[in-house]
Every structure is written in structure tokens, then in C-alpha cells.
Structure 1
Amino acid sequence: MGKVIAICTSPARGTQKQPVPAARFTVDWGVVGDAHGGNWHRQVSLLSADKIEAFNARGADVKPGAFGENLVVEGIDFRSLPVGTLLRCGGVLLEMTQIGKECHSHCEIYKKMGECIMPREGVFARVLVPGEIKVGDEMTLEPRTAPRPWQAAVITLSDKGARGERVDESGPAIAKRLQEAGYEVVEQLLLADEAAPLRTQLIRLADQRKLDLILTTGGTGFSPRDITPEATLTVADRTAPGIAEAMRAASLAITPRAMLSRAASAIRGKTLIINLPGSPKACMECMDVFMDTIPHAMGLLRGEVGDCARH
């Protein structure tokens, strides 16, 4: 159990948040009157009070709102909680959606201290049930009444698609199939065939959003611009070659050109990453191979199921 010791808002982006005694929280936005709200996953930002106290003990001298946080709470170590944690405060119900955040420019705190704790310790949430939170209100962890849906992202790699010269059909087809299977597809991205942006997005989705599954489509062939497998493997903690091997084996029964696929499958943290080919038809054929099996793999990564031993 924790206690809210500060609520902070700002009317415009780029300005420091200021403490307020109470605030209303709404679905599809976040904190009423806060410029960082919106219909996205980072509606509300939270920081543990002890992290700010420890930072101030080193001479930072910062006050609530300095890091852009909406809620400062004592008694809960947000950084130790998994994405998907439900937080109840009064009538408001929040769901944690992201841990940490990349800083694109260094703030005054960073310039003074050489670091900022928000990218490392801050967490983000979305509002599931609206209501009001006041300073002094208690915050508790809410148990789930049903398993959290698998969360996934789909990334299309296509130079022509990124330039607007070709309509992406594979990405939406993959997302639709995942949604029909009960997955929550939280992001769909369209990138050029460049290794650095792909690595950046894979790291962000795995490390901050803590997704169960990332499916890429495109960039798995022999063209000099086909860099998806290499980019995937450079961010991997472990490989999961059996999935890619099974897709190639099944595809060889359809076309001998399947042997030219360089698709990889790997694990980063608790996220499974699978490369799919570029055509919608081939994507569906490959998904036929693993859709029934990977829930067990993702359950193992979440720590929700036992090992694979057969008796």
C-alpha cells in the first residue's frame, strides 16, 4: 500500500509540472488539464517518492513535478512492478503500460547532476476507470480477475512503404490475425529497411513496453537492403531458432524458394521476436506454423507456466 504525496500537472508541453491538491482522471486522456494526456499508453506518469528523496540526498534539490511526473507515491516501488500491474487509488484504476522512458534531450536536472531518474525509475499508466485522486489518498495493487491478454506489436520493414510508394498490406493482415486470436496489438510501425531504427524500436518495445510478442514483416531475403534478421539478432539476449526453422520447413512444402528465407526468431528479456516474410500470403502461412504453440513459450517467459517436459 502506498500514499499519494503529490499530484502534478502542466498546461503546456515543455513546462515543469506544478503541484495541485487534487485532479480528475479520465479514460482516453489521463489527468484532466495536463498537456501530456491523450488517447495513448502514456497517459499518467508515476514516480516513487523514495527515489526522489535519494536523488535529493545527492544534492539535486528537486521538488515534485520536476521530472514531469503526475503522481509521486510513497510506499510503492513502481520500478519493481511488471507492466500490466493494476493500481487502485480511490475510485481510479490505472494499468501500468511502460517502464522507463528514453530522454531525447537533456533537461536542467541532467545538466546539474549528470543523470535524470525519470528515464530509469519513472513508469507510465493508462486510466481504466475514471475518478478523482487527492493528495493523501491511498494507492493499492489491484488483483486481476482474469489473465492479462497477450500484448504484441507489428513492425513492417519496407523502403517503398516508408516513402508512401506502396500500401502496407502485410502489417495490417498480421495485426488483424493477432487481434482475432485475442491479442492486444498495442503498436503497428512502418519503417524503412534500416538497421538502426529497427534496433531502436525493438529495444523500446521489449525493454519499456515489455511486450510478449513482436512480429516483423519484410527484409528477410537476399537483397542488400534486407537487414531484418541481423538487426533482430543484435538486440537478442537469446536465440529461438526452432520457430524460424519450423517456418522454413513448412514453407518448403509450398515453394522451394522458402530456402532463401533468412528469417530469425529470438528473445529479448521476456519478449519473443519473430521475423516474417514480406508478402501477406507468406505471413499467414508462417503464422499457421506457430500460432498454436507460442502461447506456451510466452507463458514461460512471463513465468506463468511450467517447463516443457513431457511424461
Structure 2
Amino acid sequence: MGGTVVAVSSNAEYSFSKANREGITLLAGLGVEGDVHAGVTVKHRSRVAQDPTRPNLRQVHLIHRELLTELGESGYDVAPGALGENITTEGLDLLGLPVGTVLRIGPEAEVEITGLRNPCAQIDDYRSGLLKRVVGRAEDGTIVRRAGIMGVVRAGGPVRPGDTIGVELPAAPHRPLERV
């Protein structure tokens, strides 16, 4: 089980989208070097407003290219980095991974998955109606979030498009991803 890095993105300022880069560097315990969301404590504005001392479980945001392709087929042109993700992947069922999964990305980096991204209404400011495409309800009424996953950096290192992604599942029983 594994995948490939399609694109990497970062932004030093708060904005919805992140610019694609030739490469990014992950910093252990912090996130993406030079990215506004890097840090030991929460950096997302909504989380800072709630409690700025909470640990940052959202250091790295990953989205699967397959979602972007699906959105494109529905009339939403969404490029890698446009939804604020740091790493766009391919060939890996990100949403099916359990909490605690470790992704080994490129030659050195390791990201431990903490949970699902919970997109806010800003996504509709980017493309009207997009929120309904990435957040919905299952037949049993539970909320289904498809806008990617979040993680923390366990081991730093460079990450570039074309890098392979290895998967190390945690010991069973596996906990499904929840919003973080």
C-alpha cells in the first residue's frame, strides 16, 4: 500500500489557497517550513480563537488528487494547493486510513495522521457550492468529510513531487478518522 506525491504547496501568509512549490521541507513537531500553519500550538484562525494553547494536530494537510479529478468532472476546476493543502497525493486512499497511520514520504519525512480536515464556509468563497461536494451525509445521517486529512510531522525532511509515500498502519484495533 502506498502512493505518490503529485504536488507540494505552502504559504507564509493566511490565505485560502497555497502556492505550488518545487519542494517543501517538513520540520519535526512543527509542520511545513515557512508555512503559516506550522507550529507546536494551533495556527488555524478558528482554532486559535477557541484556545491558542492547544497542540497543533493540523501541521500538514494532505488531499488526494482523485478528489480534485472528481470535482473537475463535476464542473469545479480545482488545482493542487487550491484548497490549502500542503501535499497532494495519488494512488492512496487517504480517507480510509486510521488515526495514527504513519506516512513515510520521500527519503526522510514521516507524517502521523491525526484526523480529517473539517472545511469551513470559506471553501464556498473559493468556488460556490464546493462545500456540499466535500462535506455531506451518509445514509445513516453521519457527516462525511472528504476534504483531506491532517497530520503532524514525526520526522522532518524534504518532500517533492514524484516522491513515493509508504504506509505504516498502527496496531489494531484501528480507530477511524474523525474531524480534527
Q: How many residues align?
A: 153
| 1:208 and 2:179 aligned | yes
Aligned-partner Cα distance in 1 for 2:119–2:20: 24
Larger Rg: 1
Q: Secondary structure at the match of 1:115?
A: helix
1:121 aligns with 2:147: yes
Q: Which is richer in helix?
A: 1
Percent sequence identity is 29
Q: 1:138 — aligned with what?
A: 164
- Secondary structure at 1:111 match in 2: coil
1:100 aligns with 2:71: no
Q: 2:103 aligns with which of 87, 92, 100?
A: 87
CA distance in 2, matches of 1:114, 1:142: 31
Contact 2:124 2:131 in 1 (8 A): no
Give the corresponding residue for 2:7.
6
Summarize the alignment of residues 1-311 of structure 1 with structure 2, pairs less than 5 Å apart: 1-39=2-40, 40-90=56-106, 91-113=108-130, 115=132, 117=134, 119-144=145-170, 147=171, 207-209=178-180
Please tell me whether the aligned partners of residues 83 and 123 of structure 2 are also in contact (alpha carbons under 8 angstroms).
no
TM-score under structure 2 length normalisation = 0.75
Q: TM-score, normalised by structure 1?
A: 0.45
Distance 2:62 2:119 in 1: 15
The residue number in structure 2 matching 1:161 is none
Q: Higher RCO, 1 or 2 (CA under 8 Å, sep at least 6)?
A: 2
- Give 5+ residue unaligned stretches, structure 2: 41-55, 136-144
CA distance in 2, matches of 1:109, 1:139: 29
In the alignment, the residues of structure 2 paired with residue 85 and residue 96 of structure 1 have an alpha-carbon distance, to the nearest angstrom, of 5
Q: Distance in 1 between matches of 2:130 and 2:118?
A: 18
Q: CA deviation at 1:109?
A: 3.6
Q: SS at 2:128's partner residue?
A: helix
Runs of 4+ in structure 1 off by over 2 angstroms are 104-110, 112-121
